[in-house]
Structures are given as C-alpha cells and as structure tokens.
Amino acid sequence: MITTSTQRLPLLRRIPWLGASALVAAVVTLYLSLVWSPPDAVQGDVARILYVHVPAAWLAYLAFVVVFLASVAWLWSRKPVYDAIAVASAEIGVLFTGLVLVVGSIYAKPTWGVWWTWEPRLLTTAGMFAMYLGYLLVRGLSTDFERRATRAAVLGIVFVVDIPIVHLSVLWMNSLHQLPTVLRAGGGPAMESRMLFTLLVANLAGALVYGWLLARRVRIELDRQARLLAARS
C-alpha cells in the first residue's frame, strides 16, 4: 500500500534561505555578466548571452540526472517523496532545456547568421526537450498513483542516456556548435579569467535557483499526494 505524508525534507525547511541566496547570486551574476566581465575578443558583447545559455544547459543535465536518481529510488523503495522529486525536477529540466533552445537561437542569429540550423547539438537538445515533455505527458495517462509513478520511473531511467549523447554530439559529429572551451586540451583555462569567473558564478546562481524551484515544487507535489490519498481513504 502506498502512503505519503507532508513531513518535510531538510531542503524544504530551507526554502526562504534558498530563495534569498538565489536572488543575491542572480543579482551578482547580472552585474558581473553585464558590467564587470569584458566583451569577447571575437564575438564582442554577444558572448554575454553565454552566461545564461551555458548554465541553463548544465542545469538541464542536472535536473534530468536527478530525475534518473529519484526514479531508481522510487522503484527501489516505493516512497512517494521520490516520485515527487522526479516530477519536480523533470518540470524544471524541461523549463531549462526550453531556455537553452530559445537563448541559443538568439545567440545563433548574430554568430551563425540563422536562428536555427539542423546541426547535431541543436537536434539532440530538441530531442531531449521532446523526450522529457513526453515524460510529463505520460504521467497524466493514468489516475492510479503507483502505476503512473512506475511508468514514469522507467522512462526517467531510460531517457538519461540522452544526456551524454547531447553533450558529446559536438565531438562525435560535424557541428557548427563550438567545442568545449572552458578548459584547453592540456587542462589550463581557455577563457579569460574574468569571463571564466563570471561563468562559474552564473552556474552557482543557476544551481541555487534550481534548488529553490525544486524545493517549492516538491512541497506542492507532496501536499497534492496527501490530498489524493486522503480522498481515497
């Protein structure tokens, strides 16, 4: 029998602190990316878009890895909290993936001359967006909680395979998308120091935003689960 409760996880008790930290980090990132960081030597100020594009891409990966881990945990333990974490992280991951595609198109127009082109990184990222959107749609096909959670968990485990495909597509296939540029082949930084620092802060800010969104969405989902189970008892 599946049971749930509104008992809060440690992360849920820190929602106000997460929100405040995310806001401060976002403001600092805004200043660093628009004022303190220098323009790129080749692309100029257009490169500042990468302070949104790159963190959004990494956070999409993170969100879908969390879906994978929570899905495994659900199948192992059958604890509803893991299903709540999976659906919350999937929704946030879809949001970040959509942001990657939109911001990437804005970046592509002045650098590639087109809003969209059928190149490997764009295609695999769009595929990932469609897959996890489908994951969310599958969750609405059944009103039985355990059956819905189990089906979604299987998809959450299978779909994680697409993450390395997306990330490595620029190395496996001919691509307009630039190769990884944070580190040189020898291991040293490939970016100017202020640009690299700004990018790292932007990633930290994005991680805090992800944590805040995840905590709030999990709390909502746990409350929804409790109401559904209470109505059926």
Return averaged pLDDT per consecutive 10 residues of the chain, 233 residues in all: 49 71 90 85 79 91 96 92 94 95 86 75 88 90 82 92 81 55 51 84 93 90 78 64
- Quick check: is 114 in a domain? yes
pLDDT of residue 173: 55
- Quick check: is 123 in a domain? yes
Instruction: Please check whether residue 121 is in contact with residue 105, taking contact to mean a CB–CB distance below 8 angstroms.
Output: no
pLDDT of residue 61: 94
Q: How far apart are CA 46 and CA 106, in angstroms?
A: 9
- Quick check: is 5 in a domain? no
Structural domain boundaries enclosing 44: 12-232
In this structure, what token pair is assigned to residue 78? 């059958």
Q: What is the DSSP letter of 5?
A: -
Instruction: Please check whether residue 132 is in contact with residue 97, taking contact to mean a CB–CB distance below 8 angstroms.
Output: yes
Task: Please list, in sequence order, all residues whose beta carbon lies within 8 angstroms of the beta carbon of residue 83, skipping any fewer than 6 positions away.
Answer: 70, 74, 145, 149, 152, 153, 221, 225
In this structure, what token pair is assigned to residue 15? 């929602």
What is the model's pTM? 0.84
Name the domain count of the chain.
1
Measured between its terminal Cα atoms, the distance across the chain in Å is 11
pLDDT of residue 189: 53
- Quick check: is 63 in a domain? yes
Q: How far apart are CA 122 and CA 100, in angstroms?
A: 10
- Quick check: is 122 in a domain? yes
pLDDT of residue 4: 47
pLDDT of residue 181: 59
- Quick check: is 19 in a domain? yes
pLDDT of residue 98: 95
- Quick check: is 43 in a domain? yes
- Quick check: is 102 in a domain? yes
Q: Which residue has the tokens 């595929």?
A: 127
Q: Which of 200, 198, 206 is nearest to 37 (CA)?
A: 198
CATH code, 91: 1.20.120
Q: Which of 233, 231, 225, 212 is nearest to 92 (CA)?
A: 212
Instruction: Please check whether residue 84 is in contact with residue 5, taking contact to mean a CB–CB distance below 8 angstroms.
Output: no
